[in-house]
Amino acid sequence: MNIRESYEQFEIEHLSSKAAKSRFTKGRKIEETKCEIRTDYQRDRDRIIHSKAFRRLKHKTQVFLSPEKDHYRTRLTHTLEVSQISRTIARSLKLNEDLTEAIALGHDLGHTPFGHTGERILNDLIKSGFKHNEQSLRVVDFLEIRNGKQGLNLTYEVRDGILKHPKDYKPETLEGQIVSISDRIAYINHDIDDAIRANIINQKQIPDKFLNLLGNTHGERINTMIINIIENSKNESDIKMSEEIAKATSELRDFLFENVYYNKIAKSEEDKTTFIVEKIFEYYINHFDALPDYYLKIYNENNFTKNEVIKDYIAGMTDNYAMNIFEKLYIPKPWQQ
């Protein structure tokens, strides 16, 4: 019995009967030789971490566009916080941490530059619409290159969790459900933290009913939510909060939308980013052959529309790359002899 087989046996003997066991994965689209050391879910986690799309997350907006100060969240730090919360819950419920971590690390790989503003713009521009979770699956299934081949060839369970992490979906595994609820815990709490740091709101504006029930600090609120999930999900078929905490969490999210996400300071650059994305899209519609060779190759070898390929290119951009491309395409440069 090699190291991987030994760990697969450990999962069977020690994890919950409701946990997804790596030995019984539904597998990959393309069958592969098993690793002697790592389980399939561990390999998926590693493939995501080593991907270019994962590295680009550090330069993508979470809420605040290109923040100059060091301590605001980016899409990468959000992803790491989701992973940490997810692993804590999975461990406490004796579910599969490796599967949970892989889903968490991959759930936002398809996010656009400029946060949800970028997502909204692409959704308006593309006839078939745009959803970042669907784009995340497209990244791991097709757009990433591994060993000279398209896609990371991840397991069914990781792909399912990535696609179904938004609130309106239900992942097939409890591990996927953990990531979905951890995503909300992470962004609700760290967006409050960042908004206070940016002086968009202050602590006194947060209604007392949330502070008294969930906690006065960022850490206290996260701890309350995590413990509540663990207590209400033991031996259950779903990952859930109590009705009281779930209601408070939902109302706190509504408070964020009203006071932070739609705040005129936080959204002060939104018209500019909208203009940038729209103009980049327009340019490549009219000059499709100016796309990088990789995307032209995708178009020539697959049955995709030009709009889909341009969408893939723009969605993969970081904030700074999008601004640099816009400058290159539209801003005149001084003439030099």
pLDDT reading at 33 higher than 80: yes
Amino acid at residue number 278 = E
Least confident of 76-80, 198-202, 316-320: 198-202
The Cα–Cα gap between 188 and 222 comes to 9
pLDDT reading at 264 higher than 90: no
pLDDT, greater one: 160 or 191:
160
Q: Average pLDDT of 109-137?
A: 94
Per-residue pLDDT band at 294 (split at 50, 70, 90): very high
pLDDT reading at 69 higher than 60: no
Identify the CA nearest to 325 among candidates 274, 291, 288: 291
Question: Which domains can be identified in the chain, with CATH numbers?
Answer: 3-261 (1.10.3210.10), 270-330 (no CATH)
Identify the CA nearest to 90 among candidates 169, 14, 179: 179
H runs (alpha helix) in 259-318: 270-286, 293-301, 306-315
pLDDT reading at 48 higher than 80: yes
Give pLDDT, residue 39: 98
Give pLDDT, residue 337: 54
Place of tokens 């109590």: 242
pLDDT reading at 197 higher than 90: no
Least confident of 24-38, 101-115, 126-140, 187-201: 187-201
pTM higher than 0.85, yes or no? yes
The model's pLDDT over 199-229, given as tens digits with 9 standing for 90+, comes to 888 888 999 999 999 999 999 999 999 999 9
Kindly report the number of other CB atoms within 10 A of residue 232's CB atom: 16
Q: Please list, in sequence order, all residues whose beta carbon lies within 8 angstroms of the beta carbon of residue 63, skipping any fewer than 6 positions away.
A: 72, 73, 115, 191, 194, 195, 260, 261, 266
pLDDT reading at 96 higher than 80: yes
Asked if 81 contacts 190 with a C-beta cutoff of 8 angstroms, the reply is yes
Burial of 20 (0-12, 13-18, 19+ CB in 10 A): buried
Average pLDDT over the chain reads: 93
Q: Average pLDDT of 245-273?
A: 84
Q: Please list, in sequence order, all residues whose beta carbon lies within 8 angstroms of the beta carbon of residue 308, skipping any fewer than 6 positions away.
A: 126, 128
Give pLDDT, residue 67: 53
